[in-house]
Amino acid sequence: MSIAEVERPESAPAPRILESKPRLSDRIFRGVVALGGFSSLIILGLIAGYLLIRGFSVLQSQGLHFITGFEWVSSVNGDGSQESVYGVGAMLIGTLVTAAIALFIGVPVSVFAALFLTFFAPQRLKRILVTVVDLMAAFPSILFGLWGLYVLMEPGMYVAELLNKYLGWIPIFAVPVPVFLRSPFIAGLVLAVMIIPIVTAISREVFAQTPLDRIQAAYALGASKWAMIKNVAFPYSYSGVVGGAMLGLGRAMGETVAVFTVLNILYQANFKILLGAGGNLASHIILKFGEASEEEIKALMAAGFVLFLLTLAVNMIANAIVNKTGRRGR
């Protein structure tokens, strides 16, 4: 039989399509996981929506002044009408000041603690210290506040006095009256102690993910412990440490009870961190809420919505920094 006589198929057979129908248990599990994933987003949206709805009338009437204003006056006229001026600018400044103090003090301590736990601590001591750090992260805020009020206040005042004595020529350390009790500096110290466990735990985890082959290669090239940390561990873990610091910053900005306990809450913009006056947005809300009128409650709801947006912005910035630097050193 010649080649020409060989019968050829008119068309190639259609490829087989492999389909696997998910089992009922798989579909149920997928639905439960999806529900868990979207539940946090739904709850977050409900909270933000409630705050916005309750405070929308105040945001509409005050406009941009609600964010940039430095007055919070709720007055009622004789005929029952209200002439109120609401602005959270002073408390936003206090929020950023106390959170910045906490970040400036807490992050270096946390990074050093994480380095010690990862590369220096003996295994038995490491287990104990890790347990202590994890327990500190779960402490209620009021315990930090009481500790700051009765234990940290006097040492903090002594440090504040030294800062004013030797660095008083810097505006933020200058005070008109040498009274350092219940100042933003004390509140920042308490917040620093509060965020140290969080930043330490995250930093320790990312330091522990440093590839062992790179560590051993650094030692094989004659690097010291510090050289290995500087050239291997730090570049590899940079994004995780920054992300942990931003999460600590978000915790510090939203803290209420601890700041309310140790800080002299006065509604004024205070850039002098040693002066015993000021506050943050969360402490202002809790201070005013108990005796607020219906109109002022709406203003406090609007202030809560601003704080929500501020915290959300910090977390978004943290995610952007982590994503941008995620492959640095890898």
Model pLDDT for residues 234-275, shown as the tens digit of each residue: 888 888 888 888 888 888 888 888 888 888 888 888 888 888
Looking at residue 12, its pLDDT comes to 63
3-class SS letters over 79-129: CCCECCEECCHHHHHHHHHHHHHHHHHHHHHHHHHHHHHHHHCCHHHHHHH
Looking at residue 78, its pLDDT comes to 55
Q: What is the band of 110 on the pLDDT scale with cuts at 50, 70, 90?
A: very high
pLDDT at 329 over 50: no
- Which tens digit of pLDDT belongs to each residue from 134-161? 888 888 888 898 999 899 888 988 998 8
Instruction: List the one residue out of 96, 74, 108, 137 whose CA is nearest residue 259.
Output: 96
Q: What integer is the mean pLDDT of 76-100?
A: 79
In three-state secondary structure terms, 152 is: helix
Q: Is the pTM of this model over 0.75?
A: yes
Q: Which residue has the higher pLDDT, 163 or 5?
A: 163
Domain boundaries, the chain: 90-292+314-324
pLDDT at 79 over 80: no
Q: What is the C-alpha R_g of the chain?
A: 28
- Which tens digit of pLDDT belongs to each residue from 223-237? 888 889 988 888 888
Cα 149 to Cα 151: distance, rounded to the nearest angstrom: 6
Contact call for residues 168 and 81 (beta carbons, < 8 A):
no
Q: Domain 90-292+314-324, what fold?
A: MetI-like fold (1.10.3720)
The percent of residues above 90 in pLDDT, for the chain, comes to 18
Looking at residue 168, its pLDDT comes to 84
- Which tens digit of pLDDT belongs to each residue from 164-202? 888 888 888 888 877 788 889 999 999 999 999 999 999
Looking at residue 73, its pLDDT comes to 81
- Which tens digit of pLDDT belongs to each residue from 21-63? 777 777 888 888 888 888 888 988 899 999 999 989 888 888 8
- Which tens digit of pLDDT belongs to each residue from 271-304? 888 888 888 888 888 888 888 888 888 899 999 9
Q: Could you identify the residue written with the tokens 């940390």?
A: 229
119 CA to centre of own chain: 26
Q: What is the band of 9 on the pLDDT scale with cuts at 50, 70, 90?
A: low
